[in-house]
Amino acid sequence: MTSTAEETAAFQLPPAIQEYRDLARRIVREELMPLEQEYLASKNTAYGLMGIQNLRAAFDAETVARLVKISRDTGLWYLLVSEEYGGLGLPLLAKVVIEEEFEYCSVPFPFANVPNILYECRGEQVDRYLTPIMEGEKTYCFAQTEPNAGSDPGGMMKTSAVRDGDHWVINGSKMWISNAHESDVVMVQAVTDPAKRQRGGITMFVMDRHHPGIKIEEQGLATWIDNGRHAQYLVHFDNVRVDESNVLGEVGKGFNLGQKWLMIHDRLLRGPYALGKMRRALDMSVEWSKQRETFGRPIAERQAIQWKLVDMYVDIQALQSMTYTVAARADAGEDVRNEAALVKLVSGDWGARTIDRAIQIHGAMGESLQLPLTRFYRLLRHAQIGGGTSEIQRMLIARQLLK
Ligand X SMILES: Cc1cc2nc3c(=O)[nH]c(=O)nc-3n(C[C@H](O)[C@H](O)[C@H](O)COP(=O)(O)OP(=O)(O)OC[C@H]3O[C@@H](n4cnc5c(N)ncnc54)[C@H](O)[C@@H]3O)c2cc1C
223 binds ligand X (CB under 6 A): yes
Identity of the residue, 3 or 144, whose beta carbon is nearer to ligand X in the bound complex? 144
DSSP assignment of 153-213, as one string?
Answer: HHHH---EEEEETTEEEEEEEEEEEETTTT-SEEEEEEES-TTTTTTT-EEEEEEETT-TT
- Count of residues engaged in binding ligand X, rule: CB under 6 A: 23
CB atoms within 10 A of CB 88: 18
Q: Are 349 and 390 in contact (CB under 8 A)?
A: yes
Structural contact between residues 235 and 174, judged by C-beta atoms closer than 8 angstroms: yes
- The alpha carbon of 383 is separated from its chain's Cα centroid by a whole number of angstroms, namely 9
Helix (H) or strand (E) holding 340: helix 337-362
Helix 390-402 vs helix 337-362: angle between axes, to the nearest 10 degrees? Answer: 140
Nearer to ligand X, 180 or 373 (CB): 180
When asked if residue 177 is in the footprint of ligand X (CB under 6 A), the reply is yes
Q: Which residues of 338-348 are buried (b: 16+ CB within 10 A; e: fewer)?
A: bbbbbbbbbbb
Report in angstroms how near the CB of residue 146 gets to ligand X at its nearest.
8
- In the complex, least distance from residue 389 CB atom to ligand X, rounded to whole angstroms: 3
- Judged by beta carbon, residue 141 or residue 309, the one nearer ligand X is 141
386 binds ligand X (CB under 6 A): yes
The rounded distance, in Å, linking the Cα atoms of 91 and 376 is 27
- Binding residues among 133-152 for ligand X as defined by CB under 6 A: 141-145, 150-151
C-beta separation of 393 from 342 below 8 A: yes
Residue 135 and residue 114 in contact, taking contact as beta carbons nearer than 8 Å: no
Here's the x/- map for ligand X, 30-69, by CB under 6 A: it reads as: -----------------xx---------------------
Q: Point out the residue whose Cβ comes nearest to ligand X.
A: 150
Please identify, using beta-carbon distances, which residue of 148 and 306 lies nearer to ligand X.
148
- Min. distance of Cβ 392 from ligand X in angstroms? 6
Q: Which stretch binds ligand X (CB under 6 A): 92-100, 157-165, 192-200, 378-386?
A: 378-386
> How do strand 185-191 and strand 167-178 relate by DSSP bridges?
unpaired
Closer to ligand X by Cβ: residue 78 or 176 = 176
Binding segment toward ligand X, per CB under 6 A, in 85-93, 200-208, 276-284, 384-392:
384-392
One residue of 391, 398, 399, 400 binding ligand X per CB under 6 A? 391
Among 178, 203, 289, 347, binds ligand X (CB under 6 A): 178
Query: What distance in Å separates the CA atoms of residue 362 and residue 371, rounded to the nearest whole number?
Result: 10
Q: Which of 16, 332, 395, 398 binds ligand X (CB under 6 A)?
A: 395
Q: In the complex with ligand X, which residue's Cβ is closer, 117 or 327? A: 117
Question: What minimum distance in Å lies between the beta carbon of 162 and ligand X?
Answer: 21
Measure the CA–CA gap between 294 and 125, rounded to whole angstroms: 63
Of 252 and 348, CB closest to ligand X: 348
Shortest Cβ 395–ligand X spacing (Å): 6
Binding ligand X (rule: CB under 6 A), the pick from 126, 322, 392, 397 is 392
- Is the separation of the CB atoms in 356 and 381 below 8 Å? no
d(CA 141, CA 150): 16
- By the rule CB under 6 A, 91 interacts with ligand X: no
Residue 250 beta carbon to ligand X: minimum distance, rounded to whole angstroms: 21
Kindly state the smallest distance separating residue 295's Cβ from ligand X, in Å.
41
Give residue 244's Cα distance to chain centre.
30
Residues in the site for ligand X, rule: CB under 6 A? Answer: 47-48, 141-145, 150-151, 176-178, 223, 232, 382, 385-389, 391-392, 395
